[in-house]
Amino acid sequence: MGCVTKVLNLTTGHRIKRSQARDRVDQCISMWVDEGYSIRNLTLQETVAARSRQARDRDPLPYAELHTLRFEAPAGADSRASRLLAYEANLYAKEVTT
C-alpha cells in the first residue's frame, strides 16, 4: 500500500485517514479507485446494490429457504422421520450448492 497516510476522496477532493476510508468502504458508502490511495463516493443505486450484496454474502439463506427448493415432510411421517428427512435434504442442498 505504500507509505501514504491519507487517502484522497475523488468525489469531494478531501483527504481522509486510511482507516476512515476503509470504514467507508466497509459501510458501502465509498469504493476503492486505487486500493489504499483513492476512493470515490457511491451513488444511491450503487450503495443499495453493494449493501444488498454484502448482506447476501454475510448472511446466506438457510438451506430450507434456498430458491426453488422446499422440503415438505410426508403427511404420514412421524416427527423423528421428518427431522431425518429434513436433515438429509439439507445435506443434499449443501452438496448441490457447493
In which band, very low, low, confident or very high, does the pLDDT at 61 lie, cut at 50, 70 and 90?
A: low
Q: Give dist(CA 56, CA 48) in Å, integer.
A: 12
The residues with which 69 forms a beta bridge, in sequence order, are none
Q: Give dist(CA 57, CA 61) in Å, integer.
A: 10
Q: Give me the residue spans of the domains in the chain.
A: 6-58, 63-97
Residue 93, C-alpha cell as written in the block: 442442498
In this predicted structure, which of 7-16, 41-50, 55-64, 77-86 has the lowest mean pLDDT?
Answer: 55-64
In tens, the pLDDT along 33-53 reads 999 899 999 999 999 999 988
Task: Please choose, from the candidates 16, 15, 97, the residue with its C-alpha nearest in 3D space to the C-alpha of residue 62.
Answer: 97
The region that residue 58 occupies, defined by phi over 0 for left and psi between -120 and 50 for alpha, beta otherwise, is alpha
In which band, very low, low, confident or very high, does the pLDDT at 16 lie, cut at 50, 70 and 90?
A: very high
pTM above 0.95, yes or no: no
Q: Give dist(CA 10, CA 48) in Å, integer.
A: 20
More confidently predicted of 64 and 97? 97
More confidently predicted of 93 and 3? 93
